[in-house]
Every structure is written in structure tokens, then in C-alpha cells.
Amino acid sequence: MTEELLSLPVPSVPAADRGVAWLRANVVRFSNGSEHERRRALTTKLIENVHATTLDELANGLGLPGALEDIALIAPSYQPHEAITAEADAATERLAGSHDEETAARIGLLVQAWAATNALAEHLRAGNPGPPVPITRRIAEGGVIEVSLEGHPFGHGAHACPGRALATKIAKNMAFLAMHHQDEPLVLPNAWDYTSAAALHAAGFRAIGTTSLGVAAAHGIPDGMGLAGQQAVALAALLKDLPCPVSVDLESGFGMDAAELVAGLDAAGVNLEDGRPHGLASVQDQAALISKVKERAPGVFLNARIDTHWQGVALAETEARARAYVDAGADGIFVPGLTEPRDIEKLATLAPLNVLAQQRTPKELGNLGVRRISTGSLLFRAALQHTVATARAVRDGGVPEAFSYAEVQALVSPGTRSDAG
């Protein structure tokens, strides 16, 4: 029934030659029939080759660099049922230049992306499964009606949002960044395949990471040797459809062009480590790598893993590396093996600090300044142990508790791939 209602015409808007009223009258969002088809084709063409990880990049791709402050003024007046403010009209005129359909399409796309990504990002951050915009309006026999977007957060049919993929990607990036700046640390469980990730999300975790050991070992490949790049990338491609942000462990880049690798993943975050199979990369080389990745994919959260503690290097070098990586653009730092409270507190002042799960509660680690707690390979190793223990129990005459067949089928059904992701 909802799909039928969403297929009804949208309310018409009056013609106008300036300001927000002109914008409404010339965008695909508020048009029907052949006019809608023409404008939708134009809109689709404008974004088909745009690749963006942030709203700023999207604005640049649409030929509207530096437009977001004006877009934020226009957005509250954009919908026909909202009042138009003088500020919104002035902002529209600053961006318009010429009053043609293509200009309107560029501005309209950015307005809708700004509103959708900000709303969706907040829903993802808070773990709210509802649509970012709860209702839309259609013309029925009795007049204008409100139609719920539950189950169709980006619309349906002719009026489905053409920028859904871009908006979702940017919103996940925004949400993941925000999760590192909350009162409580982000607890990030690390999955090794689609089903483990889906199960963790279904259990209430708002973001999922991957584990390089789990991914490599599951394919019979040693970890930390840069040999499981193909498998890591393949898993990232599967996980991009999860309705939550995903961070991918890339070791040190698997010998690939790390900037292009990150830009092509559709991941909200990545781990890049300075450890190499035979020691540590130089600070200069790793900082240059980080800088290159952030320039190519500025909206992807880059967690700079510093392997000094695992290699017995003093805190002073850990701190120097952390400062250099943050200066190069890293969004956070990750020091596996870091457990000493004074060391944690010192490094936590430099950037959002990620540590591995340890014998402290998230609240205790948060009080030390930690912003993210990863499980690393723990879940994969625990799963292996439980697998062996379960097989032994069966051999000895018992059947331990496990997910049911139906529960696992549900985790991989199309319904787990939400329209929000």
C-alpha cells in the first residue's frame, strides 16, 4: 500500500523567477510527468561521475565549491510546506548565477544531500533504525496526504532519490567520525566475514570493524605479511551493504596504492599500520602515506595504528609517531598493547585514541581519555575456541547452545541490507 501511495504525484509548486520559489519550481523533486522525467535525467547525469566522501567534496563535484553555508540556510525553506526566509532567498541567489534548470538541479541536489546526510548520520550515530525523513507528501483523491517513508527512507519508484548511494556513503562517514567524539568510547567489534558482521550489528553494535588476522587466517593466509589484500577488499565490498558504518583493517596497504585502495572501498574508516613484515616504517614514509590517503578520501576515518608497543619501543617514539601521523591528517591513533594508564592519558590528548579490549570497562577507559575500544582478533580466536569446544561436546554426548538455522538465515537475508545502507 505504501509503495502505491509513493507512486502518486507530488504536490505542484507555482512558477517563480527568483529565490527559493524559483528553486522549487525547477527541480526534479517537486515535478511530475514529462517535466519530471527530463529533470531526473539531468540530475542523474550530474552525479553519475561524482565520487565524494564528504559534503564538501560533493559540493565541489557539483560545481558549487564553498556552498555549504548557503545550503544550510536554504534547506529549512526548501520544502513547499515550509516558509521561505529572506536569508534562504539571498543564499539561493548567491549560488544561482543563472536561473536555468541545470543550476537549479545542482543546488537542489546539494540541498537534498545536505539534509539527508545530516539526518541519516545522526540516526546512524544514535542507532535509530527509522527513516531520517519520516514522511513525504503526495496528491490523492482527497487532496494532499502524508505518506510514511518507513521501509523506503530514500523514496520509491519515479521519485526515489537518485543520490541515495552517495548520501548513504557520506552519512556513514559523518556518523563514524561522530562516534569518536562521544562521552562514552565506541566499542568496535571486529568481524571476519559477512555473517559475523551482520550478527554483531543485529546485536546492537552501531559500527563494525574487520580483523586482519581473522580475514587472513580464514583463508589460510598468515597475518601481517601483506598477503591477504584481495580477501580484505572482497570482504569490504560485502560489508558496504550493512546499515551501519564499517571500518576495514588494511594492514599497511597490502603493497597497493593505499590512496586509491581506500577511495574505492566504500568504507567509513580504515586502519593503516606502520608495522611492516620486517620492522617499522620510517615516520616520514608513514606520514606521507597517511597524507596521500587523506587527500584522496578526506571523509574516511583514518585510524593510524602505531606498532611500537608490540615491538618494544619506548613511549617517547610512540608519542613522536602519533604527533607526526596526526599532523599528516590521521583522524585517530591506535596503539595495540597500550595498557599503562599514564601512557594512555598522555596519548589520548593528541587525537581520538583507540586501544584493544583489556581488563578495564569502557567507562574506566573512557575516563582515561580512550575514545575507541577494538576487539581486534579476539572474537575470531574465541569463535575458533568455541568451535573446537562445541565439537568436543558433541563427541562427548552434549549439544551446546548455538544460533538456530533460521537465525543465521535471517542474518544473511536481503532484509538485513537496509535501504539506509
- Asked if 356 contacts 193 with a C-beta cutoff of 8 angstroms, the reply is no
| pLDDT in the model for residue 415 | 52
Q: Cα dist. 86→72, 89, 413 in Å?
A: 13, 5, 49
Dist CA 363 CA 368 (whole Å): 9
Per DSSP bridges, beta strands 332-334 and 301-305 are: parallel
- Asked if 155 contacts 4 with a C-beta cutoff of 8 angstroms, the reply is no
Q: Angle between the 68-78 and 86-96 helix axes, to the nearest 10 degrees?
A: 130
| pLDDT in the model for residue 196 | 97
Dist CA 379 CA 214 (whole Å): 9
| pLDDT in the model for residue 420 | 38
Per DSSP bridges, beta strands 353-356 and 370-374 are: parallel
Report the CATH fold assignment for 180-384.
TIM Barrel (3.20.20)
Residue 68 burial (C-beta neighbours within 10 Å; 0-12, 13-18, 19+):
middle
**Dihedrals φ, ψ of 353, to 5°?**
-100, 130
- Asked if 232 contacts 248 with a C-beta cutoff of 8 angstroms, the reply is yes
Domain definitions of the chain by residue range: 2-167, 180-384
In 3D space, the residue among 212, 210, 133, 218 whose CA is nearest the CA of residue 420 turns out to be: 133
| pLDDT in the model for residue 373 | 98
- Determine which helix (DSSP H) or strand (DSSP E) holds 169, and give its type and residue range: helix 164-179
Dist CA 259 CA 232 (whole Å): 15
- Give per-10-residue mean pLDDT for the chain (421 aa): 87 95 97 95 95 97 97 97 97 95 97 95 94 89 89 86 91 98 97 97 97 97 94 97 96 96 96 93 97 98 94 90 98 96 97 97 98 98 96 90 91 61 36
Kindly provide the residue ranges of all beta strands, DSSP E only, lying in 30-148, ordered along the sequence. 135-140, 143-148
Dist CA 254 CA 224 (whole Å): 9
Residue type at position 216 = A
Rg (CA), the chain: 24
| pLDDT in the model for residue 416 | 53
Cell of residue 118, nine digits: 545530516
Give first-to-last CA distance, the chain, whole Å.
Answer: 23
Q: Cα dist. 260→49, 104, 236, 263, 345 in Å?
A: 16, 32, 14, 5, 34
